[in-house]
Amino acid sequence: MNIKSKIIGVGFTAPEKILTNKDLEKIVETSDEWIKSRTGMSERHIADEKTATSDLATGAALKALEMAKIGPEEIDLIMVGTVSPDMFFPSTACFVQNNIKAVKAAAFDLSAACSGFIYGLSLAKGMIASGEAKNILVIGADCLSKLTDWTDRNTCVLFGDGAGAVVLQATEEDTGVLSSHIFSDASKTHLLQVPAGGSRTPFSVEVLEQRTNFIKMEGNEVFKNAVKGMERAIDAALNKAGLKYEDVSLVIPHQANIRIIESIAKRMKLPPEKVFINLDKYGNTSSASIPIAMTEAYASGKLKKGDILVITAFGAGFTMGAAVIRWSI
């Protein structure tokens, strides 16, 4: 029996507070025009001091469950892709499990940076195919504003907070996640990282003075490797699914930078209407960016039942991946 994974519910949550490019002009030496021209971003949502990643993830999970029309007690597994957990342990997924009362579920976090949601989707697909689980909640959630150095104009303009979730369910139909391809290039770990705060360089006065507990990035090199990596992932995932570029109804790339997205679209020879973009409203929300975009694409009518969707992402590590989905809602 060929058991597949279909998406039966989606949902997302973003904090109420909005930080615009004009607001950033008051914080660092930058401008609205500079940010828009280089990133495509106009605003981003920022969590307040009391809001943690699990709070956003919980909100997204409840919305996805509501659409799926199943109760939390029917969930077998909760995976949260995040690099900004509530704390080192317990996992953010365990907090979500308690919040939604998914009493029968296993729960764990997955650390693949901005690729976290696709990595989670790929693992969930395998779990369902093996018969280990029937209903899985895959969540991408991050509060990168709390890892951002607000004195660094090269990075503070990029990131926002949010969470997105999908409910995957076992099916014998030829629908859902048709294929996925994930990989990493660990020789590029130095290009994008939070150097301190872990076991290699624990918190200290020196860390705080040097501000190495915040995101550090070599932007130009990240750009080049991101484009190459996502192109490779897309080609591999489509090949596994036995599909070609012309079969694709919509592409949702990781919402990191408009120039990266445009490069992917050009490579695939896709018209603008086949590429979904919402980074102007949310910025880079890391692992949350794709499930947030999936939810908005469906709500706006740009994703319809039977459509072939390609999602792709890159993240610190360098982690990279893509998945091909036949939309089932």
Instruction: Please name each of the domains of the chain with its CATH number.
Output: 4-174 (3.40.47.10), 178-326 (3.40.47.10)
Task: Enumerate the H helices of the chain as residue ranges.
Answer: 21-25, 32-39, 53-68, 92-100, 116-129, 205-210, 219-241, 258-268, 279-282, 289-299
The residue from 45, 94, 114, 257 that is catalytic is 114
Three-class secondary structure of residue 31 per DSSP: coil
Q: Is 114 a catalytic residue?
A: yes
Torsion-angle region of 164 (φ positive above 0: left; ψ -120 to 50: alpha; else: beta):
beta
For 50-108, give the DSSP string: T--HHHHHHHHHHHHHHHHT--GGG--EEEEE-SS-SSSSS-HHHHHHHHHT-TT-EEE
- Active site residue: 94, 225, 254, 257, which one? 254
Active site residue 284: yes
> Distance between alpha carbon 185 and the CA centroid of its chain, in Å?
18
φ/ψ of residue 256, rounded to 5: -105, -35
Q: What is the pLDDT along the chain (329 residues), one digit of tens a residue?
A: 689 999 999 999 999 999 999 999 999 999 999 999 999 999 999 999 999 999 999 999 999 999 999 999 999 999 999 999 999 999 999 999 999 999 999 999 999 999 999 999 999 999 999 999 999 999 999 999 999 999 999 999 999 999 999 999 999 999 999 999 999 999 999 999 999 999 999 999 999 999 999 999 999 999 999 999 999 999 999 999 999 999 999 999 999 999 999 999 999 999 999 999 999 999 999 999 999 999 999 999 999 999 999 999 999 999 999 999 999 99
Given this model, what pLDDT does residue 1 score? 64
The residue from 21, 225, 257, 284 that is catalytic is 284
pTM above 0.85, yes or no: yes
